[in-house]
Amino acid sequence: MQSITPFLLFDGKAEEAMNFYVSIFKNSKVGRVTRYGEGAPAPKGTVMSATFQLDGQEFYALNGGPKVAFSPAISFFVSCETQKEVDELWEKLSAGGAKDRCGWLRDKYGVSWQIIPSILGKLLGDKDPRKAKRAMEAMLQMDKIDIKRLKEAAAGA
């Protein structure tokens, strides 16, 4: 059983965001959904809270109002094995949001994500400090991470 669950506070868009994320990630599903009833601080039937899974990771979403906004200080790190996976997640998650440097993006709900190929960690940790430095320099020039360019840079090509 998972003991730490990310808790996301939305301003009325918890259900929309949950469905958006579940549509993007494989092995994902909506869990329990609780809706407001009569006399609640939101219209009857509006989602109050919901649980969902993204690739097996449990999340909790709450419609809590505009009191707090998401910040890039917290992000979800997604490790990808292929460039196709990087490309697909990058485009889908950034739609309506913002693309940032070094694999970071903000989705249309303001949630920050890092879409990172697993090879990046290996290249940055290479035993040859020159290769690692070249990989780092290449990554710092990228928004979406390009695996081929990283490998070429690390190799000195």
Top CATH class of 70-157 equals alpha beta
75-80 and 112-117 as β-strands: parallel, antiparallel, unpaired?
parallel
Q: What is the pLDDT of residues 72-82, one digit of tens each?
A: 999 999 999 99
Is the Cβ–Cβ distance between 126 and 135 less than 8 Å?
yes
Confidence of residue 66 (pLDDT cuts 50, 70, 90): confident
- Averaged over 36-62, what is the pLDDT? 93
Domain boundaries, the chain: 1-66, 70-157
Q: How far apart are CA 45 and CA 80, in angstroms?
A: 37
Is the Cβ–Cβ distance between 24 and 89 less than 8 Å?
yes
In this chain, the answer to whether the domains covering 1-66 and 70-157 adopt an identical fold is no
Confidence of residue 1 (pLDDT cuts 50, 70, 90): low
Q: What is the reported pLDDT for 3?
A: 86
Q: How far apart are CA 105 and CA 62, in angstroms?
A: 22
- Averaged over 106-115, what is the pLDDT? 98
Q: What is the reported pLDDT for 65?
A: 79
Is pTM beyond 0.75? Reply is yes
Is the Cβ–Cβ distance between 91 and 113 less than 8 Å?
no
DSSP H or E stretch at residue 15? helix 14-24
- Averaged over 42-59, what is the pLDDT? 94
Confidence of residue 2 (pLDDT cuts 50, 70, 90): low
Q: CATH topology for 1-66?
A: 3.30.720
Residue in the block written with tokens 């440097």 = 101
Quote the longest CA-to-CA distance of the chain: 66
